[in-house]
Structure 1
Amino acid sequence: MHLVPADRAGRRTIDGHRVCEAIEAIGAPEAVRTWADRFSLLADPGRLALLLALHRAGPLAVSDLAVATGMNDPAVSQALRLLRTAEVVAGEKEGRIVRYRVIDPVVNELLKQVT
């Protein structure tokens, strides 16, 4: 199958069939952006530490996450806000306590590979 977009069709290739395979492997630009966004969330050591803690230990409150990761409470809250906005984690309120957990199944799978 010829997958080279029209705007690149005139360019010289060495292994045309491999170029087509590469284009197919890359997929839609929107999917690449989604993966890049996920990886950028995981690229920060603090956020990754939070996600690893939540993945392994289950739902935890901000103060417990701060102790577990060595971060301060405001930094944990800020990181969780970003992860919540990206729909990677969710908080469940029990009285005055909010416990967070990982809800993104793809991130959960990636965290399994890390641990």
Structure 2
Amino acid sequence: MHLVPADRADRPTIDGHRVCDAIAAIGEPDHVRAWAERFSLPADPGRLSLLLALHRTGPLAVSDLAVATGMNDPAVSQALRLLRAAGVVAGEKAGRVVRYRVVDPVTSGLLDQCTTAETG
């Protein structure tokens, strides 16, 4: 049980080798925390709706996203701020209109799974 941290080494296990495998599979706490934060973004139904709309249709403006999702413009803007800060979406300005799109390939892959699970 070489991977068991000292603060847990005195606890009994049933399958010690699997405990070590599980610890190795979990990885570093900072890495787990980063993935948890990434998963927290689409965990909100409003943000997930925005992401699905953008993923399926391509670039859309805030007002169009508000109509599509049933959210109000300020709520859409706030959600897009969070998604933009996390590097999940990006805005492209054309005159006075900013259209947003999904730019993170990992998020796109997760959204593909949402789409596949829904239709398949």
- TM-score normalised by the shorter chain: which range applies? over 0.9
CA separation in 1, counterparts of 2:5 and 2:105? 32
1:79 aligns with 2:91: no
Instruction: Give the residue type in structure 2 aligned to 1:113.
Output: Q
Q: TM-score, normalised by structure 2?
A: 0.90
Structure 1: which 4+ aligned runs deviate by more than 4 Å? none
Instruction: Give the residue type in structure 1 aligned to 2:72.
Output: N
Deviation at 1:96, TM superposition (A): 0.6
| Unaligned ranges ≥5, structure 1 | none
Q: Alignment identity in percent?
A: 81
SS in 2 for 1:43: coil
SS in 1 for 2:12: coil
Q: TM-score, normalised by structure 1?
A: 0.94
Superposed counterparts of 1:33-52, under 5 Å: 33-52=33-52
Deviation at 1:18, TM superposition (A): 0.8
Matched length: 115
RMSD (Å) for aligned C-alpha atoms: 1.2
Aligned to 2:20: 20
Deviation at 1:86, TM superposition (A): 1.1
| Unaligned ranges ≥5, structure 2 | 116-120
Aligned to 1:103: 103
CA separation in 2, counterparts of 1:38 and 1:52? 16
Aligned to 1:66: 66
SS in 1 for 2:42: helix
CA separation in 2, counterparts of 1:107 and 1:27? 21
